[in-house]
Amino acid sequence: MSKSLDYDNKLILAPMVRINHLPTRLLSLDYGADIVYSEEIIDFKILTSRRRENEILGTVDYELPDGTVIFRTCPREEGRLVFQLGTADAKRALKAAQKLENDITVLDVNMGCPQPFSLQGGMGAALLRKPEKVKDILSTLVKGLKIPVSCKIRILPKLEDTIKLVKIIESTGVCAIAVHGRTIDERPRHANQNHVIKAIKQAVKIPVIANGGSKEILCYEDIAKFKEETGADSVMIARAAEWNPSIFRKEGKLPIEDVIKQHVRYALKYDINAISAKYCILQIMHTSMDMAEGQPMLDCKHMVEICDIWKMEDEFKATQELLTKKRAEEMEEESHRNNMVAKRLKSEDGSILIRLPVRFTKANYPTDMSPKQHLHVRCMKNHEKAPPYKTIQRESDRRFNSVLTFQGRKYTTPYWEKSKQLAEQGAAIACLISLGLDDGRVNNIEAEDDELRRKWKDLVSDQNHNSDIKNDTCTEIQNNLEKTDDSSKMAQPETAENVT
């Protein structure tokens, strides 16, 4: 990544909400933005996440233990991406930033967020009244990182207090400061105080980025007016760009239908979940909800529905087929590399144990119906007892594996997961697939191809195995189960209330 950014006369996108904005960032770059900011993510989340190079998508992902991607970037953003961090602690901020610095261009500390969650955590605009902490955080980051550091603030009620604060910020060695021309108590309905931004620019030598003018920025020409009124080096646009990223086009904005379809293409290409895609599309449609697509967009829940609304079914199908093929190849390669192929085994107690190389990825399932819930509903309909999950934790790395028992057979996966929930969901998926049932996967995004599923079905079928099954147990799992206290590790039978 580039080690610096030129802020002179640059157009900048700064997403407003904490949702995956990769398609919006890419659209903004396509339409003329010079620099893009990530959505703000707090340091705790970064420290909890793991960095993964996603070879299928060609991205770098930061994932939480449950598989949720909190930040995703791609080569298109190289040298132009500013990561916005939420923090209230210098040491913690540095630790999180050091984890990120090879994947971003600049680290920006958000000291302007007025939202309650941020203020209660001592982050965002809460820092504006704590100049010593501001200095500590920024100085620590500047000294400890190989990449430049910047920050974004709101103004204080008194101009002299604002000037005093920005001079402290400048003294820390930051590369730039973005200024939203409203106080912590003001909202978009209040006029942006452009004269204060101008006074700040006159008071410091570092680049000043003007923000807060979206209400008056209706076309490309308005960007130049805002820059002139504030005297700033660069202009940062948030709401106006979320409403239509083509605001950055010198030739003028494009029809929202064209922008939305390109947004959907990026969402498909980079496997963005439907919740994020829907939110961003509704932002673009915010004054056009009377369109024929308005109500269907409010009602939709999955990417296949979004593509159907915008008549992009063929693009959806083509993209999913490509991703499915790539995932199947990766899964097969990983399985053979780690000997994680599907197996039909015999447990020590003589029961059959089916082990399938499947995993639960949260983004690929609806929020209201998990694989465990699918299996539970199936049991309720057939008046069967809900299956127990025997979940154990490996001492060496504190990871989990779960074995589900259903109708006299056991089901598991070869993977050791970061959480008990992930392990149990994987076991439920293995059981459902073995029974020939739908595991609830949305759009079948990661579904194995028909041939692979037929092989697994053949593996499970008693018709293809005689009674002399090799006593090939999952040794590590079996040994751990024998050491485990059943009363503490055995999952309780699910009820409608506690199924996750």
| Sign of CA pseudo-dihedral 94, 98, 103, 105 | positive
Per annotation, catalytic residue among 74, 113, 175, 431: 113
pLDDT of the residue at 14: 86
The residue ranges of every structural domain in the chain are 11-254, 256-341, 342-489
Q: Which fold has domain 342-489?
A: Double Stranded RNA Binding Domain (3.30.160)
pLDDT of the residue at 490: 36
pLDDT of the residue at 259: 98
* C-beta of residue 24 within 8 angstroms of C-beta of residue 95: no
pLDDT of the residue at 93: 98
What is 11-254's CATH number?
3.20.20.70
Residues of the chain below pLDDT 50: 1-3, 445-448, 463, 465-478, 480-500
Distance, CA of 279 to CA of 21 (rounded, Å): 10
pTM of the entire predicted model: 0.74
Distance, CA of 369 to CA of 381 (rounded, Å): 16
pLDDT of the residue at 296: 97
- CA dist 318 to 300, 324, 351, 443, Å? 21, 10, 42, 13
pLDDT of the residue at 4: 67
* C-beta of residue 391 within 8 angstroms of C-beta of residue 465: no
pLDDT of the residue at 117: 87
pLDDT of the residue at 461: 64
Whether 113 is catalytic is: yes
* C-beta of residue 20 within 8 angstroms of C-beta of residue 69: yes
Distance, CA of 206 to CA of 335 (rounded, Å): 53
Distance, CA of 146 to CA of 143 (rounded, Å): 8
Which residues make Cβ contacts (< 8 Å) with residue 218, sequence separation at least 6? 240
Helix ranges (DSSP H) in 345-491: 371-381, 420-434, 450-460, 475-483, 486-489
Q: At what angle do helices 22-31 and 256-269 cross, to 10 degrees?
A: 130
- φ and ψ at residue 468, rounded to 5 degrees: -90, 70
